[in-house]
């Protein structure tokens, strides 16, 4: 990431910052629309080697952005450059780019090994069999390498998609929701692979709508909301903003009136509402609330059965950031 602080995104093309040295992916004033529908509106950013997460709720324009920078779509306006080259009508560039697409479909009649070897042959690698073996090993699929892709689970298909994207060891790796369908262990392993790629100097751009995934991947983020770049910068600052914002929580407990009377003394409490089986709270200091509530419930002689967030959805987080 070329900008380390969380900043509102630049919008107008003319206002786009100059492309920093070392930027491998550059979008300047890029818009994409389908008829009357605007999918992306005047987006500019530049990123360099390392892991960058593209965040946003469903429908925010993440997949459109990734498709634009891999040449699957042509921008309606603006410029897209990857590794200093134009993407559209430039198939030679694919020698240096790997993509894990959004769609799950694969060739069902091929084995995993056959599919990755096929990809290696299309990249003109000197030893496709060895390259496929290496890629399948990286995604821990060697045991299932000779099974037909039609028999694979969603998580296994995700790993095959990752293997085909990195079989040629690309300089830029673009991944659209790569952890979707993978179990927790597979997620950890795949994230290790992405980190490994980034450590060799590759640019890894990963889209996700799951905040906790992104948190573990790296600190650089781009945030898209409603087709606009809402923020870019360091993920930790987003986390801090999230912790600072008012939060709505549901407290499940016995004797809610007594608990409410105790809670109202806490700093940061904005609103308290009694409900069946507990109460709903809005607080400006969620951290202090989380620490205090078990103690206050115990002091009130009420059994606390749970505390749950009511606005943890990524969409609400992003909308808060935009506002």
The answer to the question of residue 91 lying near other proteins (CB under 8 A) is yes
User: Nearer to other proteins by C-beta: 84 or 243?
Assistant: 84
The answer to the question of residue 93 lying near other proteins (CB under 8 A) is yes
| Residue of 190, 210, 241, 239 lying closest to 53 (CA atoms) | 210
The answer to the question of residue 96 lying near other proteins (CB under 8 A) is yes
* Footprint (CB under 8 A) of other proteins, residues 246-285: none
The answer to the question of residue 208 lying near other proteins (CB under 8 A) is no
User: Nearer to other proteins by C-beta: 116 or 190?
Assistant: 116
Q: What is the C-alpha separation between 156 and 162, in angstroms, rounded? A: 10
User: Nearer to other proteins by C-beta: 204 or 279?
Assistant: 204
- Only one residue has tokens 């890894």, namely 204
Which of 60, 197, 217, 260 is the binder for other proteins (CB under 8 A)? 197
The answer to the question of residue 169 lying near other proteins (CB under 8 A) is yes
Taking the complex as a whole, how short is the minimal distance between the CB of residue 26 and other proteins, in angstroms?
18
Which of 44, 52, 65, 70 is the binder for other proteins (CB under 8 A)? 70
Going from the C-alpha of 93 to that of each of 45, 64, 102, 163, 257, the distances in angstroms are 20, 19, 20, 19, 65
Q: Are 214 and 186 in contact (CB under 8 A)?
A: no
| Residue of 32, 175, 213, 234 lying closest to 223 (CA atoms) | 234
Q: Are 78 and 13 in contact (CB under 8 A)?
A: yes
Site size with other proteins, rule: CB under 8 A: 44
The answer to the question of residue 147 lying near other proteins (CB under 8 A) is no
What sign for the dihedral angle of Cα 32, 33, 34, 35? negative
Taking the complex as a whole, how short is the minimal distance between the CB of residue 195 and other proteins, in angstroms?
13
The answer to the question of residue 109 lying near other proteins (CB under 8 A) is yes
Separation of first and last alpha carbons in the chain: 23
The set of residues, in sequence order, having a beta carbon less than 8 Å from that of 177 and lying 6+ positions away, is 102, 207, 208, 209
User: Nearer to other proteins by C-beta: 127 or 299?
Assistant: 127
The answer to the question of residue 140 lying near other proteins (CB under 8 A) is no
Per-residue b or e along 284-304, where b marks 16 or more CB atoms closer than 10 Å to that residue's CB = ebbeebeebbeebbeebebeb
Which of 27, 125, 136, 193 is the binder for other proteins (CB under 8 A)? 125
Site for other proteins, rule CB under 8 A: 34, 67, 70-74, 89, 91-97, 99, 101, 103, 105-107, 109-110, 118-128, 131, 164, 168-171, 197, 200-202
């Amino acid at each position: 990431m070329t900008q380390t602080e969380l900043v509102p995104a630049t919008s107008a093309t003319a206002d786009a910052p100059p492309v920093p040295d070392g930027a491998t992916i550059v979008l300047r004033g890029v818009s994409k629309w389908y008829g009357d529908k605007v999918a992306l509106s005047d987006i500019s950013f530049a990123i360099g080697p390392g892991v960058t997460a593209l965040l946003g709720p469903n429908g925010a324009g993440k997949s459109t952005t990734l498709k634009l920078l891999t040449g699957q779509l042509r921008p309606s306006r603006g410029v897209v450059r990857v590794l200093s080259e134009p993407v559209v009508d430039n198939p030679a560039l694919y020698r240096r780019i790997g993509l894990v697409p959004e769609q799950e479909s694969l060739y069902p009649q091929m084995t995993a090994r056959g599919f990755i070897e096929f990809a290696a042959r299309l990249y003109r690698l000197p030893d496709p069999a060895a390259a496929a073996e290496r890629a399948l090993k990286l995604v821990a699929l060697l045991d299932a390498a000779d099974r037909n892709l039609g028999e694979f689970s969603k998580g296994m298909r995700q790993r095959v998609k990752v293997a085909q994207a990195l079989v040629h060891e690309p300089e830029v790796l673009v991944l659209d929701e790569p952890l979707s369908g993978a179990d927790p262990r597979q997620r950890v392993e795949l994230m290790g692979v992405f980190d490994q790629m980034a450590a060799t100097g590759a640019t890894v751009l990963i889209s996700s709508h799951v905040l906790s995934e992104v948190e573990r991947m790296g600190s650089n983020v781009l945030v898209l909301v409603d087709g606009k770049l809402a923020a870019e910068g360091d993920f930790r600052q987003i986390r801090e903003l999230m912790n600072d914002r008012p939060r709505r929580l549901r407290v499940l407990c016995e004797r809610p009136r007594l608990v409410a009377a105790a809670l109202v003394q806490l700093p940061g409490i904005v609103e308290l509402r009694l409900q069946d089986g507990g109460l709903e709270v809005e607080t400006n200091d969620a951290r202090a609330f989380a620490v205090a509530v078990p103690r206050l419930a115990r002091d009130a002689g009420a059994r606390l059965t749970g505390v749950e967030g009511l606005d943890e959805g990524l969409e609400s987080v992003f909308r808060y950031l935009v506002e």
